[in-house]
Each structure stands twice: as structure tokens, then as C-alpha cells.
A and B are shown apart, each in its own frame.
Chain A
Amino acid sequence: MYGSGILKGLGVTLKHFVETYIEDIRYLGKRYTPETLPQRQGPKERGIFTVQYPFEKLPVPENFRYIPFLVYDDETGKERCTSCGICAKVCPPQCIWIVRTKDPKTGRPRPEPAEFYIDASICMSCGYCAEFCPFDAIKMDHDYELSAYHRDELVFDLKKLLKPASYHAQIHPTDWKREEEARAAKAAKKAAARKARKG
């Protein structure tokens, strides 16, 4: 019958429409709560799945990467960065500027940055700086709401970039665990080597 193809197609749209309501019943009125968000975005969901951003936000996975931040230790308040410059060298759009600290007496470089800029309007969030940093000093952030009224506000300096290590631990739990284990293993190795030298 001519037109049967169209009717069959409309059947699919109707099914999609009805399924949305059936899903609503399945959630017993709790469909639009933060707890059901991961489930609502999962492969088992039927019908329409809309998230009412900015009123509800999808949780981002641990690996999610957005503009980098610099890590400082909670206790000492000292940044981990040694201003070795690997991040500035590996950055594809070259948006990292670092000024190395010089010792005022000797004039020799000290392993900490005097100034550190990231131009977030240029940063392409590729994650190379975090990937290749040998000191776990620069990490990718989860905060993706960065809009500003002026371009100058998007040039982040040290003050804006520094975030505590506990924040890093909170957003990257598995990475944090792995890094801590590696650090502990390294420290143990060092201690053992020192002991062996002494004994």
C-alpha cells in the first residue's frame, strides 16, 4: 500500500513518544533528580533523555579534562611545580608562560616558578601538560564553566591556577591512588638505597 512506509515510520516516532511516559512511570516520579542522572544517561534508557542544564548537571568522568591547574600541598602550601618547562615545551598551542625563580644572592635558578600563566582562551585542553609533567604538579580540571566578560580575565596567573592537592585527590581518586603508591614506592627505594649505603 502506498504510504505504508510513512505510517510505519510514524509508528516509530509514536513509540518513542510513548516510551518517554512509560519511563516516567518506571522512575515513580523521581526521574528528574540528581540520583537518577547516570541511569538516565545510560544505555538502558528508552524514550527521550533530556538534561535540564544548567539546573541539573551531568557528573563528569574522572578522566574528564579541561583547563589545567597547578597543585600545591595542603600542609606546606608550597606548589609542586619546579618550573622545569616541560609543560611549556609540550603545549601544542604554546599557551603556557613560565618565569623561573632566580636566587637573589647567587643568581642561579631555583626550582619554583616566579610567574606562571596559562591563556585559557588559547588552551585546547589536550591534557599534554598533565600527561608529561614528571612531578604531578599540573593536572586537568573538571570545572568547565569558565565564561568571562573580557579576554584578559582568561589569562590565568599563579593565584588563579593554584589548587590544593586535596582537590586533585577528590576529583581524580584513581589517579591519586596510583600516584601516591608510586611516590611511596620511590621513597621506600630511596630509603633502602640509603640504608644499603650506610650498612
Chain B
Amino acid sequence: MVRLVKSLEPSPGFPEGDPIALLQERFPDAISPADKGNHTGVIVESDRLPEVALYIRDQLGYQYLSSVTGVDYLDDGYFEVVYHAYRLSGGGPLTFKARTPREDPVLPSLVAVWPGADFQEREIWDLYGVRFTGHPNLKRILLWEGFAGHPMRKDWKEPYYEEEHKPFKSRWPQGHFAMAEERTPWGRNVQYPPDFTPEGWTPEGDAALYEGLLELETGHGNGKGLRTDRVVVNMGPQHPSTHGVFRMVVTLNGETIVDLEPVMGYLHRNHEKIGERNTWLGNMPFTDRLDYICSMHNNFGYAVAVEKLMGVEVPERAEYIRVIMAELTRIVNHFIAIGFLFNDLGAFFTPALYGLEERELILDLFEMASGSRMMCNYFRFGGVARDLPEEFLPLARELVENRLPRVIDEFETYLTGNEIFLARSVGVGVLPKEMAIAYSTAGPVLRASGVAYDVRKAEPYGIYDRFDFEIPIGTNGDIFDRYKVRIEEMRQSLHILKQALDQIPDGPIQAGKKAYQVRVPAGDAYGRVENPKGELGFYLVSTGGPNPYRYHIRAPSFINLTSLGEMSKGHKVADIVAILGSIDIVLGEVDR
């Protein structure tokens, strides 16, 4: 069941006042303020980290760990791991950082405090080579065993390495074209560790993975002494239910799932390294390619984060345009999420195509405004790329006022009461409230578990504090609640859209003059938005140069997958297909 709430739940009992002062008071010898210019947060002594983290979670009430990421400070000779924790009653982050020398990088793992750190710490190990002691399953997550080195380190170079930063000097004024593969003498774009031959390689990692899963074997299947074997099944990487290339290694007892481990990275392109090579503005079209269904919202997140660093004011009209685009994106995403959830349940493509029809109409609007249907690249720092064409607003009004409400109601008549759907979804894939918070899930998955948390309310960005809307929250945290939360969110989006379309003023759409080289002051910033799939965060470090020093994405689909194993245990194989569908992942964002 789903109910609507006006605001976040207050969490009383936690101390008021500056959390950093409280931390310093409690741990005077373990906490020091950030010493780099304009950087936020505090630095925690690495050996005291678990203790401090527990205090932050239990005593200060920062229960929700949003993001964990690493930064390589090559010149200073250390790695920094940055944690962002939030209170569920809203407000800004508590940022704390831990440092470890580059020679032998080791930090204590926080998986015991926040299970949601699991995949993120593995990602840091994979990309930076920081070992987390006490992590239950520390192995590569996005790359494979035959990968040489840790690519996000600043001294690592890719095979077609040209220069540290774009723009490349070879392009102008003497820019003769050459195919990339002609530039490397051996003509292929891979490099291996020194003692590695791909021909002689056997996937040991997989053997270890299967062994680890089979260890759970207790042996006596029917309880009468009949010995049964566990079976390990690979769902994917090419499996239609995974919506891309994603693999679930499932251990089965009969048809019941005993354990599940997601394996990912098949679509990995090291988006973050590309982002550090790019100019600030050059990253904008790349964010489109993360979650390719919600490109407008990805633009929004990146723009919010960079504007935090730049400190620019966005003009009124641009703010309204942004909200209109963002909420239309949410409707597009939820239509697809619901449509494809039904695909996974066996209602083959009829609901999905009904959703896609509405999406076509919204994409027409995007194309009209930005020039592209999916890769919109519409936001700029301090505004949007171009003003809305004349025919945009009437068409948007027609859609928002007449067509979409009717279609959403029709969707509900069509699907919500369906007995087959109810049988497959109610009580399946349950994620209890406490677990949803601990696993750092976000978006509809978190809200379906009964946590009223929405970044638009918790830490309003843009002009979201002006709109009247409610947060739909579920009670059981099962597939049905996630479906229902999405339906209600579409209605709330329509409600916001109506207000925005009525209030949109005339005026400029860009603060200042449009420039292709933006000046971003030195410092770090974490900007987050409520993406349709969950909280999308961008952690940026600037040194004042033309490129980001660090460009990290807190991808909601990636982190929501942390809880997939927990959700699936005890269900049947056919159910995990639906559970995965209800999380709503996009592999472009999971693998980045």
C-alpha cells in the first residue's frame, strides 16, 4: 500500500548544532579540519575510522551513507577516501575523509557500519587500489582480472594516451586526421599486466566465485537424509531480463535462491577518467550517456554540482525550464520502468509499448527544445542551452493537462488490479525499512520501503522548494509497492509540472555570457539531485584549472544493486527477474 506524505519524518533525539563541532569535541585527537583550500568536511585518522563512523551513525543521526569515493592526490602522496552521510530528516551532508599513503594504501572497511559501502569500497579498490581491511568480498567489481593497474590513479595511462587534458594540441592549428589505432605501434587497444597472457588465462575469479557460493551447502535437501546438490546458475551477461549486459550468479536449492551475487562491468568505459581528461563543459554531453533514459536529469545533477563550486545564480526562467525538463524525464523513466517490469513478468511488450508511446510525445518536446531526443545536452552552467521554441509550451500543456493524467489512470486500470501481477508482486522482494537505509538504496526503492526521503524535499536544489508536492511512500517494500510508488510519483510530477507551466516567467535563460572555457574556483563539492532512479550525486574536485581534478558519480542504479542479493534470498528464479526489474537499473549507469 502506498500513502502520501507532505514532508520528511523528523528524527528527534539527535543533538542539534554543528555536527563537526560535536565530532571534534568527542574525538579531539582523531578529527582535524580539511586543510586543502576550500575543501569541505573533516579528516578522520584512518585507524579510528570505524569508531568515528559508528558515532556519526548512532549518536549524531547521520544514518544514510550516500556516497563513498576516492581521490588521488598525486603531488601530496596520498589517497583520500571521501564519505558523505545524511540525516533522514533532511539537511546537508556530514562529509568526512580518511587518508592513506599512496605506497601502501590501506583503510578499515565501513561495510560493518553501513552495508551500502560494499560495492563502493570495491569500486575504490578496483579503480584506485586502496585495500579495505575487513571487507567481506574485496575483489575487482568493474574491471576484469587481466586488467593492468588501477586506472583512476593519476599516474596511470590508457593505451591511446595522447595528453593529460583536452583540448589536445594535435587538433589545431596543424591537425592531420589519423585513425586512433594507427597511432599505437601494435595496433590494438589493450594492455596486460607484465606476467599475463590472455591465451593462457582461465577465469579463476569465476571458479572462486562459484566455490564461495557453494560453501553454503548444507547438504540435506528434503530433511530425510537425501543428499541434494546446490546448483550455480549464471543469469546473464546476455539475458533478456537484465536489460543489458549484467550477470547474476545464483546458487539454487531446487528452484529456491540461496545466494545471489551480481557481476557487472561489461559496459565499463571508465567514464570518470574520461571526465577528468575532459574540460568542465565537455563533460555535459558525456553525462547524457550515463543513464540514457534520463539524460536531462543527469545534466541537472552535473550542473548543480558545478554551480555549487562556481557560485552562479541561475535565472528564473532557466530554473523553471530545468524543473519542467526534469519532471518530464521522471515521467518518461517511470513509464519505461513499469513497462519493462511487466515485460519481465511475462506481459510481453504491450504495457511497455503503451509507455513508450507517451515517451515518444515527451521526447518530441525534448527534441524541440534541445535538438536531440535522448542525448539532450541541454543544461549549461548557470542556465540552459537555448530558449524554448514557441510551440513548446502549448504542446507541453496539452500533454500535462489532458493526455498524461488520462494515460496514467488508464495504466492503473490496466495493470494495478491484475491478479497475475498481484500474485507475482505482493510480498516478493521485500526490503525492510532498516535494511533499505543501511544498504544506501535510493529513490523509489527506498521510498517503497517506507522511508520518506526525497532529495527535492531533504536538500532542495533549483527551485524545488517553491512547489507543492507530496512524497509517496510504501509500507511493505515489495515489488508491488515499488510499482505503486512510481505511479504516484508520476502523478506528483504532473502536479509539479502544472505549477511550473503556469508560473514560468519570461526572461534570460543564461546567467552572464556564454563561455566555452568556464572558470571553476578550486575546492570540492558534492551536488545531488533526485534522479528518477534515486539519488544521483556528483562529487567534484577542482584545482581551478580547465578540467575537473576529480569527477565522481554516485550512480543510483549501481548502489541500489547492493541490496539485490538480500532481496532475492528465498525466492524463485523467476522472481529475481521481477525483483531486478523493480529496482529499475540502466547498465550505462551501473557500469559507467
Contacts and interface: CB of A to CB of B under 8 A. Distances in A.
Contacts of A13: 350, 414
B171 to A, nearest CB: 4
B367 A64 contact: yes
Contacts of A6: 418-420
Interface stretch (B223-231, B301-309, B371-379): B371-379
B417 A94 contact: no
A99 interface: yes
B516 A16 contact: no
A4 to B, nearest CB: 7
A115 B178 CA distance: 13
B519 to A, nearest CB: 15
B370 interface: yes
Contact of B417 (A4, A62, A83, A124): A4
B190 to A, nearest CB: 19
Contacts of A176: none
A54 interface: no
Contacts of B166: 92, 94
Contacts of A39: none
Contacts of A132: 514, 516
A117 B398 CA distance: 44
B422 A5 contact: yes
A interface majority secondary structure: mixed
A89 B282 CA distance: 10
A100 B174 contact: yes
B172 A100 contact: yes
Interface in A1-22: 2-6, 8-9, 11-13, 16
Contact of B372 (A41, A88, A125): A125
Interface in A70-126: 83, 85-86, 88-92, 94, 96-100, 109, 115, 117, 119, 124-126
Interface string B164-179: 0011101111111101
Interface string A40-63: 011110001100000000001111
A85 B417 CA distance: 60
A10 to B, nearest CB: 9
Contacts of B371: 61, 63-65, 127, 140
A88 B175 contact: yes
B375 to A, nearest CB: 7
Contacts of B403: 43-44
Contacts of B286: 92
Nearest to B362: A43
B385 interface: yes
Interface residues of A, number: 52
Contact of B282 (A60, A92, A117, A127): A92
B377 A97 contact: no
A127 to B, nearest CB: 6
Interface in B266-303: 278-279, 281-286
A117 B354 CA distance: 43
Nearest to A131: B385
A152 to B, nearest CB: 8
A128 B360 CA distance: 25
Contact of B171 (A2, A62, A96, A124): A96
Nearest to B347: A9
Contacts of A161: none
Q: Which of B177, B282, B403, B414 has the most CB of A within 10 A?
A: B177
A60 B367 CA distance: 8
A128 to B, nearest CB: 7
B222 interface: no
A43 B175 contact: no
Contacts of B514: 131-132
Nearest to B546: A89
Given A9-B413, A94-B171, A100-B172, A43 B516 contact: no
Given A9-B413, A127-B371, A99 B176 contact: yes
A100 B398 CA distance: 51
A125 B172 contact: no
A43 B361 contact: yes
B9 interface: no
A98 B372 contact: no
B361 A9 contact: no
B167 A89 contact: yes
A85 B420 contact: no
B364 interface: yes
B13 interface: no
Contacts of B282: 90-92, 128
Given A63-B367, A92-B278, A100 B389 contact: no
B173 A41 contact: no
B513 to A, nearest CB: 11
Nearest to A175: B386
B410 interface: yes
B281 A128 contact: yes
A89 B389 CA distance: 29
Interface string A149-169: 001000100000000000000
B375 A124 contact: yes
Contact of B395 (A43, A49, A86, A97): A43
Interface in B336-367: 350, 354, 357, 360-361, 364, 367
Contact of A97 (B171, B357, B413, B516): B171
B399 interface: yes
Given A41-B361, A43-B399, 12 more contacts: A3-B419, A13-B350, A85-B171, A86-B516, A89-B516, A90-B516, A94-B171, A98-B173, A126-B284, A127-B377, A128-B282, A128-B516
18 contacts: A11-B413, A13-B414, A42-B361, A43-B402, A64-B372, A83-B173, A85-B171, A88-B175, A94-B171, A97-B175, A117-B175, A119-B177, A125-B372, A126-B377, A128-B281, A128-B282, A131-B385, A131-B514
Interface of A: 2-6, 8-9, 11-13, 16, 41-44, 48-49, 60-65, 83, 85-86, 88-92, 94, 96-100, 109, 115, 117, 119, 124-128, 131-132, 140, 151, 155, 174
Interface of B: 166-168, 170-177, 179, 278-279, 281-286, 350, 354, 357, 360-361, 364, 367-372, 375, 377, 385-386, 389, 395, 398-399, 402-403, 410, 413-422, 514, 516
Q: Which 4 A-B pairs have the closest CB atoms?
A: A5-B417, A97-B175, A126-B285, A85-B172
